[in-house]
A and B are shown apart, each in its own frame.
Chain A
């Protein structure tokens, strides 16, 4: 293999694929990135067996071929090169020679054959959605993904496609987020899968770097999912298992419905939560005629209280929440006003934006 590349473009590509390079691995090949040639381009790939990222970039190809090179080292080297372009050539025994102006590097590579096969997808079965929509759906659900690996089915975002609708749901057993949108896809297409949180994190990092008005094509094959946007493809293994029946935990009715300014509720909760210690982590919401008093107390530290005017005229009641759960929802809800739907101090509360098919369910704490 012999190629010539632009330093800047190669660096960008390396930056993208870096996310799947293992830093420490029992398999040394996983710390490498693979470079493969096509007609007028090269494909950079990295994988940690769970997650793979590939990025296609332009290059001049003098001699086609493929090799793998220690990823982080290559990234560091390319950044420091003296010229805007460089040549890369595989000599015998997978030794890689990299030259730029007078600088010469010789790197020990490994054979392409040792590199894990990255699943390939046929374009035919894919569907696509706007990057903005995908980003929004993930942003509004990712914070309630579980970190408890003993309940691995909850360690990801559940995605389903049915009757032309795409839904995403996540729950850590104490709270749940749900979002739904219409999507232009064959109405007969039906999918149910769980995307692991690690893939979600990397996908979001990449989506954030891309322009606004682009399409992401999504494809699923066996236990793999791929997201392709422009020259980048992320492939991840799916979580194998049954996501719990989330519909049954979303309350269908409520006794109290209140509309509040998102910003007011968010700031007040944050302000008061300062006095809830990590040890008790509970903020009390006391509803009485026309007012909502939010308070928190920690032994040895003190207490805080604040009041919001609300249009409430039911019977007085109080309910406790982990403030982090409330703050997470309000930070991501993207709506000027929110509606709270409550029943009593033992049942979950539902938070909804003023428009859009989104809701968050939060289980209270004992007060």
Chain B
């Protein structure tokens, strides 16, 4: 396959999580919004309105509040973002069968086949962006070039809502003005190492003799040289539904730190149920269960256990998570956060079951899922979840934006709005 004459698009959703939340809740539109993890965590995305105040990813909500007292804090809801990504993916798939999600909010699309159409790639991508804006309600930055590496570079050049085409003749001047640290894949350490051998811009990297680079960076020298020259022949691979999700997990920061094992186990069951519900919704099963425990002092420990068989129900996940948790006992300190995730996922292959007891359990799970899908999560739930609920999760009714939520209480999912 010739790789020279490709047309590759990189598309990057702008302030993705915040945009999705703004889309879901009209009251948030046009306002400074930050999306944080559940409970007491840090800013994962700030809307463009919030960025104007200098709010950045990684700040604590308190710091954000200091920069902009009106900022609206929304609890992140990965489920919603994964769903939205799926919808974006199906739009992109209408334009090309080669759509590769690089992460939840950016994708590469090989549009070589449609690039020759009247109006060229710009028109194709323009209508793609229009569809995403109209159907999903969010904007994105796009970059078009002859390979993935340059396309990603191009999409980063104009944000938000940009469309940059990087032609052959543009490459050299762009690389000249570009710090090596800006290149995708070059981190802080590598930048420092490159600087120390006199390479500061991308062009200098491309011009450096391969021998010198391999002397300093071994095998990676070749890769770096190609990056500096803007070369990249990696194909846009097909992505399937299950590739978007490598593991399914939930974590929860407790409203108050606790050492109460019964309470923690109840939360563990709640997380396991949520993970199981989501896995089944995606038609997946997994066999590795991981448990994260963060203590009061932020020291975080994680352990995992792999089974020989695949599981997908909350009870099964809790069975393993509970066993891992017992290894943390006795607890040294009060616990601040618990997290449960399942990886080593496969698509439920439709294996039939022999025993009636299995069949009835499957039927019960299906019935509970359909009730919960219709009437809201945890309409039907294991009784021992009540311990966690009493400890401090508000039940499900919606909270209108702007309304104060008592500190110390948060809902397990959906937007929690704090002022």
Contacts and interface: CB of A to CB of B under 8 A. Distances in A.
Interface stretch (A3-11, A101-109, A279-287): A279-287
A174 B357 CA distance: 12
Contacts of A248: 356
Nearest to A364: B352
A365 B240 CA distance: 21
Interface string B183-200: 000000000000000000
A249 B359 CA distance: 12
A218 to B, nearest CB: 27
Given A147-B307, A171-B354, A363-B351, A281 B346 contact: yes
A146 B350 contact: no
B248 to A, nearest CB: 15
Nearest to A361: B354
Nearest to B359: A173
Contacts of B355: 171, 173, 244, 249
B69 interface: no
Given A147-B308, A148-B309, A299-B240, A174 B316 contact: no
Interface residues of A, number: 31
A280 B347 contact: yes
A173 B242 CA distance: 26
Interface in B353-382: 353-358
Contacts of A363: 351-354
A147 B356 CA distance: 18
A244 B309 contact: no
B315 interface: yes
A365 B349 contact: yes
B350 A366 contact: yes
A167 interface: no
A256 interface: no
A228 interface: no
A172 B309 contact: yes
Contacts of A172: 309
Contacts of A175: 354
Contacts of A149: 319
Nearest to A176: B354
Contacts of B316: 148, 150
Interface in B322-358: 346-347, 349-358
Contacts of B237: 300
Given A244-B357, A300-B238, A280 B349 contact: yes
A282 B354 contact: no
B278 to A, nearest CB: 18
A300 B237 CA distance: 9
A174 B349 CA distance: 13
Given A146-B309, A147-B308, A279-B242, A322 B354 contact: no
Interface string A329-353: 0000000000000000010100000
B354 A249 contact: yes
Interface string A176-208: 100000000000000000000000000000000
Contacts of B347: 279-280
A348 B346 contact: no
Given A150-B316, A279-B242, A173 B349 contact: no
12 contacts: A148-B309, A148-B316, A149-B319, A150-B315, A171-B354, A173-B354, A173-B358, A174-B351, A244-B356, A249-B355, A282-B349, A300-B237
Interface of B: 237-238, 240, 242, 307-309, 311, 315-316, 319, 346-347, 349-358
Given A146-B309, A171-B354, A244-B356, 13 more contacts: A148-B307, A150-B316, A172-B309, A173-B357, A173-B358, A174-B352, A174-B354, A278-B346, A281-B349, A282-B350, A300-B237, A363-B352, A366-B350
Chain A to chain B: the 8 pairs with minimum beta-carbon distance, closest first: A366-B350, A363-B352, A147-B308, A173-B358, A150-B319, A279-B346, A249-B354, A363-B354
Interface of A: 146-151, 171-176, 244, 248-249, 278-282, 299-300, 320, 322, 346, 348, 361, 363-366
